[in-house]
Chain A
Amino acid sequence: MTAPFLEASGISKRYIRPSGEIVALDAIDISLGRGESIGIAGPSGAGKSTLARILCGMESPTEGSISLEGRDIQRDKSLRRRIQMIWQDPAASLNPYMTVAQLISEPMEVFNTAGRDRLKERLDELSAMVGIPKRLLSMRPHELSGGQCARTAAARALAADPIALVCDESFSSLDIPSQAELMEVLEGLRDSLNLSLVIISHDLFPIMRMCSRVAVIRNGKMEETGKTCEVISAPRSPWTRELVSSLLTWPFSPQRKAGHHLSGS
């Protein structure tokens, strides 16, 4: 594991409501190396989305701090741009009145990450990186498939020149082919650009496929954390065990068929 460069320590978030105090997150520690991906799993209402917003600097934690390359993102607002979010519903997070080209170029114009003269060049680069063919550039989100919208959202996030991406349930609104598409794109980006990924998902498949480590959160508390393969194959907490055992897997997979073959012969 590389040295942690995105580090969240002792993150707590409490809301005061007339009915009393609500604890959304309680002392969560997460650290992530450059080019690494970590999964955050847990049921709905566990505080995953709150954590995502805090990691992106959109909300400040009641306690605890987040540092990127040793600098506190709460203090240094310019760092926020370096952690971008891919939203729950990638298609709905795109402005329907803008073309794909405009959507991808906008962060470059606003943050001046490419320079005026390199805009077009960078647009082509980014769209090639996420696999958006040229003919799609003049289309608007409603003309695109779910997978293409997800690719556009990824390219738009990249245009802000981030070093980490947070995916907040970005997979749950997509059908399976589009999910597979987005996973491939994100893995490609992580490996080619050395991006760090935080994959927040209630479904374990995206995490199992993409992340080397996983943190299971429940009721705002860290339930279990460790290497993904270890947590999945030998969960320590009873709740995680139940979660893993409830996972629907594909019963007709080649391996299983092969295994069936062996036992048969």
Chain B
Amino acid sequence: MNSIAVESLAIETPGSDTRIVEGLSFAIPQGGSLGLVGESGTGKTLTALSLCGLLPEPLRLVCGGMSVNGKELEWDNRLSWRDVRGRGIFMIFQSASLALDPTMRIGAQIAETLHETKGLKRKTARTRTTRLLEKVGLGPETERCLPFQLSGGMRQRVQIAIAMALEPSVLIADEPTTGLDPLIQIQILGLLDNLRRSFGISLLIISHDLRVIARMADSVCVMHKGRMVESGTVEEVFRTPRSPYTKLLIESVLKQEGIG
């Protein structure tokens, strides 16, 4: 069964004919992972936000059909998103400042999530929190910290810990390692991989870095100017790219590594 299936997703601005994103269709099987790759400004992040029903005004989502866990979703109904967000689809952001409450201590934030969604008692929630933080490689002293006291990599870990607490069907990771040094990057990617393998969470990973996609995803969608130019398994697309744009992207990776 597919964790999420989307049919011809589009994002439009009212009063304008051009759509920011158009004709994006994909499905992720349970425990699978899909990479969304493209240059910056191509609409990747907006796509991710639209999948959480969080598009900023006045943008609008138009969709041929969307299902989460096999259940059809009324994507044009605001209320139906409320049931999906969090447990169904959860998103971790590139800049954790969007996702974490800047005035709340880390421990309290995670415990709150556990209390609200799992109905755990406050005390059990706190012990679970410690265990979750441990799983993402953070010590118990992190619980007392406020988000701004943590480094970028640590904040990503906290977001992943919240994702573990929620156990969503689909986790969207928007540029989760951009701006982190390679050492931290590989650790964060390892955590995300672990999330997929041990919790069976499907992963939609968004990145401009083809290497991250190649490392993390089973299949890939290549986006250019809001349109899907190519899709298939990572092996297919990256080894034998058909679209000239994909070829261009791969070429730039090789150039950047000093090979091309």
Do A and B interact with each other, yes or no?
A: yes
A residues whose Cβ falls under 8 Å from a Cβ of B: 42-45, 145-146, 172-180, 183-184, 202-206, 208-210, 242-243, 246-255, 257
* Contact residues in B for A253 (Cβ distance below 8 Å): 254, 257, 259
* Contact residues in B for A209 (Cβ distance below 8 Å): 255-258
Q: Which of A43, A177, A243, A252 contacts B39 (CB 8 A)?
A: A177
Q: How far is the CA of A176 from the CA of B254 in the complex (A)?
A: 10
Q: Are B185 and A183 in contact (CB under 8 A)?
A: no
Q: Which of A146, A174, A208 contacts B257 (CB 8 A)?
A: A208
* Contact residues in A for B49 (Cβ distance below 8 Å): none
Give the interface segment out of B22-30, B84-92, B97-105, B206-214.
Answer: B206-214
Q: Which of A42, A203, A255 contacts B259 (CB 8 A)?
A: A255
Within 92-139 of B, Cβ neighbours of A (below 8 Å) are at none
Beyond the given pairs A175-B208, A208-B258, A250-B253, 4 more chain A to chain B contacts, judged by CB atoms under 8 angstroms and listed by A's residue number, are A172-B179, A246-B182, A248-B215, A252-B239
Type the 1/0 row for B237-254, where 1 means its CB is closer than 8 Å to any CB of A.
011000000001110111
Interface check B184, CB cutoff 8 A: yes
* Contact residues in B for A255 (Cβ distance below 8 Å): 259
Q: List 28 A-B contacts (CB under 8 A).
A: A43-B181, A43-B183, A45-B151, A146-B40, A172-B179, A175-B208, A176-B249, A176-B256, A180-B255, A183-B256, A203-B181, A208-B257, A208-B258, A243-B181, A243-B183, A247-B182, A248-B182, A248-B185, A248-B215, A249-B257, A250-B257, A251-B214, A251-B215, A252-B238, A252-B250, A253-B257, A255-B259, A257-B239
Given A202-B181, A251-B214: A180 and B259 interface contact (C-beta under 8 Å): no
Q: How far is the CA of A73 from the CA of B170 in the complex (A)?
A: 55
Q: Which of B151, B152, B183, B248 contacts A177 (CB 8 A)?
A: B248
* Contact residues in B for A246 (Cβ distance below 8 Å): 182-183, 185-187
Listed residue (A45, A176, A249) with the most chain B CB atoms within 10 angstroms of its CB: A176
B residues whose Cβ falls under 8 Å from a Cβ of A: 39-41, 151-152, 178-187, 189, 208-212, 214-215, 238-239, 248-250, 252-259
Judged by DSSP, the binding face of B is helix
Pairs A-B, 5 closest by C-beta atoms: A209-B258, A202-B181, A175-B208, A180-B255, A246-B186
Chain A nearest CB, measured from B178 CB (Å): 8
Which single residue of chain A is at the shortest CB-CB distance from B153? A44
Chain A nearest CB, measured from B13 CB (Å): 17
Q: Are B183 and A250 in contact (CB under 8 A)?
A: no
Chain B nearest CB, measured from A128 CB (Å): 21
* Contact residues in A for B181 (Cβ distance below 8 Å): 42-44, 202-203, 243
